[in-house]
Structure 1
Amino acid sequence: MSLLALQRDMRAWLACEDTSAADRLGAAAASGLRVYQNNYRAQLVACLEESFAQTRAWIGDDAFHEAVIAHIDRVPPSSWTLDAYPLDFPATLAKRYPDDSEVAELAWIDCTLGEAFVGFDAAALTTDDLAGIDWDRAILHFTPTMNLADLTTNATAIWSALANGEAPPEVELLPETGAILVWRQGLTAQFRAIDRHERDALDLARTGLPFAGFCARMVDAHGEDAGIARAGGLLRQWLGDGMIVGIEE
């Protein structure tokens, strides 16, 4: 058996308990294969437990472990690093809890905060860095740790309460879909809930549109005075949050 064939059979056994693969590996390997598979699954369970602490606290240990086992059975690791394995778990929870959207939203917060914490470093700009900027040509560049997802419930309030050891609020649906914004400021991964207007503004600002064009779009959406004020307010907010890491002219 070639090394490649051996590796493929070993993966098939670990991920799917493929008995044909086990047969090809030989009877002498049977007891060792079971040990390897138990260790493999234990590592995946531990990875998800560590990555989704608040989600687990919300749905309970039994329900969480049922979801973990179902996920491991359905979704084998596809990356060289175990750090990537949690990324698909929120989608598994969305399928298991289609009528409880806060569960997948909590899982997304858990997962994305972890991703932001280990993301690429980029020094944030401050207001002191803005002198001499040609705002007609200025293009904002945001931290690579920033991520966005739809928010339909008060999952951010639930997550914060759980993380602080407080009684979480009851689930509430938002009047309209907003978004969860996650990024890292310094050494701290953080999030906040934003409305759809800021979500749309962030999406627009990240297209490479110069700031003058961004302001014009805000004016189109909100009127001249309100639009200019909103553009300036968002710039101050994003700078204060440490989300802007560069301005290209």
Structure 2
Amino acid sequence: MTTPQHPSPPSAPGSRDRIYRSPAGVVGGVLLLALVAWLGIDALVVGEGRTPWTAVAVMLFLTPLIVAYTVRPAVFADDERMRVRNPFRVIVLPWGRVASLRSGYTNEVVDEDGTKYQLWALPVSLRARNKAARQEARRTAGENREGTTGGRGAYGGRGVRGTGVATADGPRRAESDRAVDELRQLMAAHEGAPETSGGVTVRWAYEVIAPAAAGAVLLAVLFTLG
């Protein structure tokens, strides 16, 4: 499940970003990092021969990868652009260059050239979607029953026969779908604005790639030496 974290809707250049990330991914990543640290430190302390070096190589290889796929992914959005921080790349897209935001089996942003960028921070959960759909169906059915019997609607007014009354928050949606909906609203609100012009930039995350590659090389050398 993904929960959007945003302090308030941005209203001026330089305003704080809305931040979207996966709390479950962050928690899982922290637990994995703790496990790797525990096993690695234990091997360093009590290991003999090449064991400590192997432990260093494994930690150097695994730690950046765990961070990349769990803690690192995030989407930042403000009045001017959205910044997508994926495991190995950072993509900055001004709103004027965003063609669409797609939500299927994965969540993606598509630029004007048709290039797709997956939003790793907003993983799609079919289970969460089905759960939200069932809750919405039950809510609508309950409101229809209230309307049929003349009960009070969601806002305290009298119900209308055969109709459902939407809640103040609208239909229930999975958290990742709600986050994409908010991003679509930002895109629509700032489409064509002069401050949203500019090109799409993509930067490789060498701070993740370099230590992982160094760990892989060290592991290969250790295995070669036997």
* TM-score normalised by structure 2 residue count: 0.29
Structure with more contact order per residue of length (Cα contacts < 8 Å, sep ≥ 6): 2
Report the structure, 1 or 2, having the larger helix content: 1
* TM-score normalised by structure 1 residue count: 0.27
